[in-house]
């Protein structure tokens, strides 16, 4: 029967396939069954069902791949596909399914009545899409072949004209005035018909592209058509719409142009996606570059910090020299943290959440900011809390740097005051409701304020959106505040913004107070653990091998140091029982650190091994258990960290 609706069910579970088929068959649908992806593709190509219910977990081809193949084939691309799965039902799975071309997503189990209602709704959509596709194709054929007869066909296609996804206008070629427009143009630009019809075509264009518009108009006068011209429309509220312009002429019997038909296709979303892709690729490139330099830079820092520690541990230093060396050491530690921040920003590392005190980080950030902003900007701080939160010091540092930098940039021209405050706040149920779903409890309240130019009211809701920026081209990626918002939410907190034009902006962050004691990251005398075990230390950098030897020797250990992984393996093979511990670099020529560790474990399974690295992309994707090592440490090597790690590993042995 011509009105029968055919459904192809693709499911490898026989009882689910049979049950679904019976339910739909009993309700008047013609059912075709397939138990795997290959059969489903063949049936779709030969029978062209109206709807496909597609399971994801198929035995031969993944359901998403089946969907992609069908949507990529012109013969089957218009078939309505609904992912119908009881597995992989997370939002990310649904998003991935829709991105491969699926038209809908139903998760199982589902009530039979609801399923039937959903399928009826799908067929309504299928019918509407088929009608729209048919009418659009007819309209394009008429425009291409008989554009001169458009006036006589106008009434017949008025409904299609006004409901087209594209914007249409007819323009008088003698004076450039708009003669008529469709409803889509009014909806997208915000103008009324009276504000458009009878007005110059330039009214709907953004002033940034007036020269291009004039060139397109001249091209139409000369040739009678314009094809795929990229321009920008201006909404009534001042917003921009990126469009592709196409213009064709309507002529009388004598070949004289009566008016033009202009169509604008909105490509704003397409350009936004292109910009996001470009930004993503740029961030990926930054990440690759950061990873490439991190290893070498951390090796350099290992030398700076290691030799400084050795010098500080020496006797007979006068106070001035000791102070100078401590400044060098402090600068090295800041550089170490900076590398960590760069790697985190480049998404090359995960930060472990630990108890920390924000007040010390504020002081560090403001000290850094002071040296990098104009003297016309005054910095004020009011720290009234030393409470602890669970977080990552580098990430909190990034949050503060971003907010303080934004505030300073808003005051670069006229100067002003940058204020940072920290206080404890208890949020009760009533206050939590006012603070947009902030849970009741104890929080630190971090405020960063400036007296700059402020943020436009219509921009306030967008400031935390990725890629949104009010800065000029090349001045900002639009990712800073999005990153801040993401980190704050990750910590279980909230961020709010208040701003008045000409007065300034305040960002307020609430972060939950932790019960654990935090670290203040200040230097205190520490009695380092020592030992007398035998250690094989391997690093292809001569300076680092020497530093490791000297530091471990100072701690009482008996050290054999080498700069060759091949030599290290030979030394170990000669007498494995001579060593109680092996410390090896990850990135080395000939034999990499993880491979060296595995070779040594084969020779002596109980040997504890510590793997250290400035950065290794391969190391980022594996765990200690994968390669059998007892600890993984990051360069640069710090004496205290190395001493504690070595003692901890040896004591566990």
User: Per residue in 439-495, pLDDT tens?
Assistant: 888 999 999 999 998 888 877 877 877 655 665 544 444 557 877 887 888 888 999
Are 210 and 202 in contact by the 8 Å Cβ rule? The answer is yes
Of 158-167, 431-440, 553-562, the range with the lowest mean pLDDT is 431-440
pLDDT band, very low/low/confident/very high, at 431 (cuts 50, 70, 90): low
pTM: 0.43
Percentage of the chain exceeding pLDDT 70: 85
**268: Cβ contacts below 8 Å, ≥ 6 apart:** 240, 241, 242, 243
Question: What structural domains and CATH numbers belong to the chain?
Answer: 6-134 (3.40.50.2300), 163-270 (3.30.450.20), 349-515 (3.30.565.10), 534-651 (3.40.50.2300)
Percentage of the chain exceeding pLDDT 90: 39
Q: What are phi and psi of 36, to 5 degrees?
A: -150, 170
Residue 545: how many other CB atoms lie within 10 Å: 19
| Cα three-residue angle 177-180-181, rounded to 5 degrees | 110
The three-state secondary structure class of 175 is coil
The three-state secondary structure class of 591 is coil
Are 347 and 285 in contact by the 8 Å Cβ rule? The answer is no
The mean predicted confidence, pLDDT, of the chain is 84
Helix axes 565-574, 593-603, angle to 10 degrees: 10
Quote the pLDDT of residue 609.
94
User: Per residue in 292-336, pLDDT tens?
Assistant: 677 677 778 888 888 888 888 776 778 888 888 888 888 888 777
| Nearest by Cα to 139 from 255, 261, 258, 260 | 261
More confident residue, 136 or 65: 65
As a whole number, mean pLDDT of residues 106-135 equals 88
**337: Cβ contacts below 8 Å, ≥ 6 apart:** 393, 394, 397
Quote the pLDDT of residue 635.
83
User: Per residue in 384-405, pLDDT tens?
Assistant: 998 999 988 878 888 998 899 8
More confident residue, 361 or 156: 361
The three-state secondary structure class of 557 is coil
Report the alpha-carbon distance of residue 276 to residue 573 in Å, rounded: 53
Of 48-52, 300-304, 586-590, the range with the lowest mean pLDDT is 300-304
Quote the pLDDT of residue 328.
86
Are 178 and 201 in contact by the 8 Å Cβ rule? The answer is yes
As a whole number, mean pLDDT of residues 262-289 equals 78
Helix axes 358-370, 393-409, angle to 10 degrees: 40
Q: What are phi and psi of 579, to 5 degrees?
A: -125, 140
| Torsion sign (Cα): 113, 54, 85, 94 | negative
Task: Say if strands 558-562 and 534-538 run parallel, antiparallel, or are unpaired.
Answer: parallel
Report the alpha-carbon distance of residue 428 to residue 340 in Å, rounded: 37
The answer, yes or no, to whether residue 427 has pLDDT greater than 80, is yes
């Amino acid at each position: 029967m011509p009105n029968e609706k055919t459904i192809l069910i693709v499911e490898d579970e026989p009882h689910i396939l049979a049950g679904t088929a019976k339910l739909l068959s009993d309700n008047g649908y013609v059912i075709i069954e397939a138990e795997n992806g290959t059969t489903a593709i063949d049936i779709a190509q030969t029978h062209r069902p109206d709807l496909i219910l597609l399971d994801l977990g198929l035995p031969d081809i993944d359901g998403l791949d089946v969907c992609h193949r069908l949507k990529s084939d012109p013969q089957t691309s218009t078939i309505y596909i609904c992912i119908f799965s009881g597995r992989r039902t997370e939002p990310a799975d649904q998003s991935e399914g829709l991105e491969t071309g699926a038209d809908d997503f139903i998760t199982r189990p589902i009530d039979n009545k609801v399923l039937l209602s959903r399928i009826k709704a799908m067929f309504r959509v299928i019918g509407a899409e088929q009608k729209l596709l048919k009418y659009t194709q007819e309209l394009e054929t008429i425009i291409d072949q008989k554009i001169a007869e458009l006036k006589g066909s106008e009434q017949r296609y008025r409904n299609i004209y006004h409901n087209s996804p594209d914007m249409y206008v007819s323009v008088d070629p003698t004076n450039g005035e708009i003669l008529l427009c469709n409803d889509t143009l009014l909806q997208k630009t915000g103008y009324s018909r009276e504000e458009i019809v009878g007005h110059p075509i330039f009214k709907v264009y953004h002033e940034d592209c007036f020269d291009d518009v004039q060139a397109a108009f001249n091209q139409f006068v000369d040739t009678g058509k314009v094809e795929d011209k990229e321009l920008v429309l201006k909404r009534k509220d001042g917003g921009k719409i990126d469009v592709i312009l196409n213009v064709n002429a309507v002529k009388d019997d004598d070949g004289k142009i009566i008016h033009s038909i202009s169509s604008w296709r909105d490509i704003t979303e397409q350009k936004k996606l292109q910009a996001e892709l470009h930004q993503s690729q740029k961030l990926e490139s930054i990440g690759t570059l950061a990873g490439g330099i991190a290893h070498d830079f951390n090796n350099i820092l290992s030398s700076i910090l290691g030799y400084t520690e050795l010098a500080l541990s020496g006797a007979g230093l006068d106070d001035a020299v000791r102070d100078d060396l401590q400044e060098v050491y402090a600068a090295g530690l800041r550089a170490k943290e900076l590398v960590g921040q760069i790697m985190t920003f480049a998404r090359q590392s995960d930060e472990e959440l630990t108890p920390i005190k924000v007040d010390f980080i504020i002081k560090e950030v403001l000290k850094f900011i002071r040296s990098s902003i104009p003297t016309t900007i005054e910095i004020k701080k009011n720290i009234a809390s030393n409470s602890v939160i669970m977080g990552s010091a580098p990430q909190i540092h990034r949050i503060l740097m971003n907010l303080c930098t934004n505030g300073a940039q808003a005051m670069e021209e006229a100067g002003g005051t940058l204020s940072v405050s920290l206080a404890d706040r208890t949020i009760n149920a009533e206050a939590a409701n006012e603070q947009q779903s902030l849970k009741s409890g104890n929080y630190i309240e971090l405020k960063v304020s400036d007296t700059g130019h402020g943020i436009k009211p219509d921009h306030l809701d967008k400031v935390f959106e990725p890629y949104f920026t009010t800065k000029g081209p090349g001045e900002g990626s639009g990712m800073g505040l999005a990153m801040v918002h993401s980190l704050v939410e990750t910590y279980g907190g909230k961020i709010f913004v208040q701003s008045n034009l000409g007065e300034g902006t305040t960002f307020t962050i609430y972060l939950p107070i932790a019960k654990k004691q935090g670290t203040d990251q200040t230097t205190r005398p520490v009695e380092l653990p020592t030992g007398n075990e035998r250690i094989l230390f391997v690093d292809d950098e001569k300076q680092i091998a020497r530093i490791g030897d000297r530091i471990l020797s100072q701690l009482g250990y008996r050290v054999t140091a080498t700069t060759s992984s091949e030599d290290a393996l030979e030394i170990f093979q000669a007498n494995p029982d001579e060593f109680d511990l092996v410390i090896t670099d990850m990135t080395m020529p000939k034999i990499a650190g993880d491979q060296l560790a595995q070779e040594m474990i084969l020779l002596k399974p109980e040997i504890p091994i510590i793997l250290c690295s400035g950065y290794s992309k391969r190391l980022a994707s594996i765990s200690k258990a994968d390669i059998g090592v007892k600890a993984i440490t990051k360069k640069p090597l710090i004496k205290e960290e190395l001493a504690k790690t070595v003692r901890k590993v040896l004591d566990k042995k």
